[in-house]
Structure 1
Amino acid sequence: MRTVIFRTFAPFITALMVLFSIFVLLRGHNEPGGGFIGGLIAASALAIYGISAGVGPARRALKAHPMSIAAFGLLLAALSGLLSLFTRQAFMTSQWVTIDFLGVAVDLSTPMFFDIGVYLVVVGAIGSIALALEERESD
């Protein structure tokens, strides 16, 4: 299914899907969405790009091995839960901090970092599976 039309529009579709996955990730605690759903959308975008351009260009576009991305996400999710232990609270208790960024108050929280970790785990694991299946099919 490597038609000229598909190869032409796949990078644009991929970019839009990744942007939408980040939107779904960041709105996750207030409305439906979050790290898992956003990660699935981003992994689908990676699969579409892998089908259209090939596995090699898709792996180069990631800049890191998919399982390394998943491992970093798992580490980030675990560390976000451990921060509450330093304040003598139960594991995974939310911690909040407000920083001033360019004159705007930005609230950062451990649930947000946990969601980002889940996002990276899903993108890395599902992306690795999708690229491996595509690589096997193209041989």
Structure 2
Amino acid sequence: MNSSILRTMARLLASLLLMASLYLLWRGHNAPGGGFAGGIMAAAAFVLMSVAFEPMAGWRATRVSPLVLIPLGLAIALASAFAGVAAGDGFMAGQWVTVDVGGEVKLGTPLLFDAGVYLVVIGVALAVIIPLMGEEE
């Protein structure tokens, strides 16, 4: 498409969608959301960039190939699943650490698992959708 309005709004909306996707990722292990919902929203931001500019614009905007995000996300999710075994608990047992950053923040393996799912969803969505968009004529 060749619309300056679409391109301007796409930049703004993509930024907002990415921030909202990170919020969904962060809140997802305690509230509705999580890695899948956040990943879909982030993928939508990158697809929006592809629609507004050119098909590969969303792919390039990730800074890392979506084909790298998929195995990276799987590795992170698997590592979180085996963290419980390494700590002497069961498979996928939650492990938690409290970090003081002006207030107590609990970080744990469920968030790590969600981060892995987030990366896999972005990678798969972009690897499937962007090639289907084809080249500009």
Q: TM-score, normalised on structure 2?
A: 0.91
CA contact (8 A) 2:21 2:39 kept: yes
Tell me how far 1:8 sits from its aligned partner. 1.6
Gaps of 5+ in 2: none
RMSD: 1.5
**Equivalent AA in structure 2 for residue 126 of structure 1:** A
SS of residue paired to 1:108: strand
Q: State percent identity of aligned pairs.
A: 38
Provide the TM-score with structure 1 as the length reference: 0.90
The aligned runs of 1:95-110 (5 Å cut-off) are 95-101=95-101, 103-110=102-109
| SS of equivalent residue, structure 1 residue 107 | strand
Tell me by how many angstroms 1:22 deviates.
Answer: 0.6
Could you list the structure 1 runs, at least 4 aligned residues long, displaced by more than 6 angstroms after superposition: none
Partners of 2:33 and 2:2 in 1: how far apart?
Answer: 32
List runs of 5+ in structure 1 lacking aligned partners. Answer: none
SS at match of 2:14: helix
Count matched residues.
137
Please tell me whether the aligned partners of residues 27 and 33 of structure 1 are also in contact (alpha carbons under 8 angstroms).
Answer: yes
Corresponding residue number in structure 2 for 1:138: 136
Counterpart CA distance in 1 for 2:90 and 2:128 is: 35
Please say if residues 2 and 51 of structure 1, whose CA atoms lie closer than 8 Å, have aligned partners that are also in contact. no
